[in-house]
Amino acid sequence: MSGDRLEHRVRTLLDQAAQVFRGNPRAETWLLRHRERLGEPLRVALTGLPRSGRSTLVNALIGEDVAPAREEGVPVWFHDGPRPIARIFPENGQPSVALLERGTRGGHVVAGAASGPRTVVVEWPCRALRHTRLLEAAGDEAHAEADAILHLARHLGEDDLAALREVPAGRTVIALPVHIMVVLSRADENAGGMADALTTAKRIARRRRRDRDLSALCQDVLAVSGQMAYAGRTLREDEFATIAAIAALPRPAADAMLLSADRFAAATVPVPAQQRAALLDRLGLGGIRLAVTLARTGARTRADLGEQLVRHSGLTELQASVSDLLTARRSVLKARTALVGLDRLLRTEAGPATGHLSAERERLIANAHEFRELRLLAALRTGRVELPAELAVEARRLAGGDGEAHSERLGVPPNTPAELLWPAAEDAAARWHEQTTAAAAASGRRAAEVVLRSCTAILDDLG
């Protein structure tokens, strides 16, 4: 009962499929590609409508001014690599390698790229990309090529979420949206861009993450200002000096110039207009308002201000959620991608010899408790499950939130012998069996059923 075991079972199933489809070039190519994908870093796609902030959030996650690197509408992958280069995959013709040049409007562009690239792969030396590959894209390709999705939305209305509602759900546990998060991505623009705009957006996200309709589409809902996060991670001394100079102005004069972007640009103050324009482009008016407030209330150095901007931006919460629910569950999400793809392959290449493969796939999915555990971990994180605090902590641990080893799930030292693990697992199973009927809320009873199965799986392993 771990992601690695599930991944191993899926790999075995793909090997069986390779035997069945031997001599079918299309199927053989697909199976080889997906078997290789199981060993790759997690693929995370950033999707959303135009101007939802995809490139900005990519830069914030990487911590450098990398995106955009392509024509609008062309999917771009960001991989770790020894030096900054781009690999161009055209619609027709052979792939090529190109250098990256700084763009006139920020980010980098592909130098001398052939027209009409189908996909661009940017290699960039970055620790954050060693275990995760990012894809900036819109449309169906992201759902087919990625293991997890960060869906960016400026608001949480029907238009912003329509793409998620169109994703085929299916009817088995594989349909659980364990691979999707919704990001309210330009959170600093809420409430008219006032200094408390991010707080308001985070409050909206916390309320909506418990909404039944929205939770049916995703694991978590978070509010982030990608622009503020990126500016905080890369804040320069001259930018800090400009913010500090504005914060040092008499309060009435500074507040008046921060009422609108036009007033900020046209104000007659001892801060050069060119510096103000550059700052407005980097932080936006809402970000400048917050930065000035932070500078007035204790951020005395560039490092302090940058750190506080990142913290207020919501990037830290997003990174924590991605780490807990996506990166740490890489094997489970990789296995899910392969199982979804295998279903498509079996439907398009159905024949007399594929019936047993379909049955094996369904049997594997039915026994894949890992998907239910991942859904429970998200529900505990977002508050969709009503359990007493102490039980919620134990539920998270037993569901693998602190590690997938039996000792980690049971909360005992790592070298505890099996004969001592058994009574601990029995006690936990009895306690959670009682909760399947005793929990006050229906969500608590459903959670208890998942935790009970985790306990019985430990007992089965030990037995």
Q: Is 286 within a domain?
A: yes
Rg (CA), the chain: 25
User: Do 82 and 150 belong to one domain?
Assistant: yes
User: Do 271 and 201 belong to one domain?
Assistant: no
DSSP-derived letter for residue 99 is E
- How many of the other CB atoms lie within 10 Å of CB of 307? 17
Q: Is 16 within a domain?
A: no
Q: Is 400 within a domain?
A: yes
Residue 116: CA count within 13 A, CB half-sphere:
5
Q: Is 355 within a domain?
A: no
252 to 6, 255, 257, 258: CA distances (angstroms):
62, 5, 9, 10
Q: Is 72 within a domain?
A: yes
User: Do 233 and 122 belong to one domain?
Assistant: no
User: Do 279 and 321 belong to one domain?
Assistant: no
Question: Can you tell me the distance from the alpha carbon of 250 to that of 292, in angstroms, rounded to the nearest whole number?
Answer: 12
- How many of the other CB atoms lie within 10 Å of CB of 337? 23
Last residue of a domain, one of 266, 286, 313: 313
CB distance 36 to 434 below 8 Å: no
The CATH number for 456's domain is 1.10.287
User: Do 171 and 79 belong to one domain?
Assistant: yes
User: Do 304 and 402 belong to one domain?
Assistant: no
User: Do 181 and 283 belong to one domain?
Assistant: no
User: Do 121 and 191 belong to one domain?
Assistant: yes
The CATH number for 183's domain is 3.40.50
CB distance 339 to 364 below 8 Å: yes
- How many of the other CB atoms lie within 10 Å of CB of 104? 7
Last residue of a domain, one of 288, 304, 331: 331
Per-residue pLDDT of the chain (463 residues; tens, 9 = 90+): 577 889 999 999 999 999 999 999 999 999 999 999 999 999 999 998 888 889 899 999 999 888 876 666 788 999 999 998 988 888 777 888 888 888 766 677 776 555 667 888 999 999 989 999 999 987 667 888 899 999 999 888 888 888 888 776 555 777 788 999 999 988 877 655 566 778 888 999 999 988 888 888 999 999 999 999 999 999 999 999 999 999 999 999 999 999 888 999 888 888 888 999 999 989 988 889 999 999 999 899 999 999 999 999 999 999 999 999 999 999 999 999 999 999 989 999 888 888 899 999 999 998 889 999 999 999 999 989 989 999 999 999 999 999 999 999 999 999 999 899 999 999 999 999 999 999 889 999 999 999 999 999 999 998 8
Q: Is 302 within a domain?
A: yes
DSSP-derived letter for residue 174 is G
User: Do 164 and 242 belong to one domain?
Assistant: no
- Domain range enclosing 306: 228-313
User: Do 51 and 166 belong to one domain?
Assistant: yes
Q: Edge-to-edge strands of the sheet including 76-79?
A: 108-110, 96-102, 85-90, 117-123, 76-79, 132-136, 42-48, 148-153, 180-184, 220-223
Total number of domains in the chain: 3
CB distance 231 to 192 below 8 Å: no
- How many of the other CB atoms lie within 10 Å of CB of 9? 17
- The residue assigned the tokens 């364990």 is 178
User: Do 193 and 243 belong to one domain?
Assistant: no
User: Do 169 and 155 belong to one domain?
Assistant: yes
Q: Is 168 within a domain?
A: yes
CB distance 329 to 374 below 8 Å: yes
Written as one letter, the residue type at 369 is: H
For residue 295, what are its two tokens?
Answer: 């500078």
Instruction: Please give the helix or strand (H or E) that residue 370 lies within, else none.
Output: helix 369-382
Q: Is 281 within a domain?
A: yes
Q: What is the pTM of this model?
A: 0.90
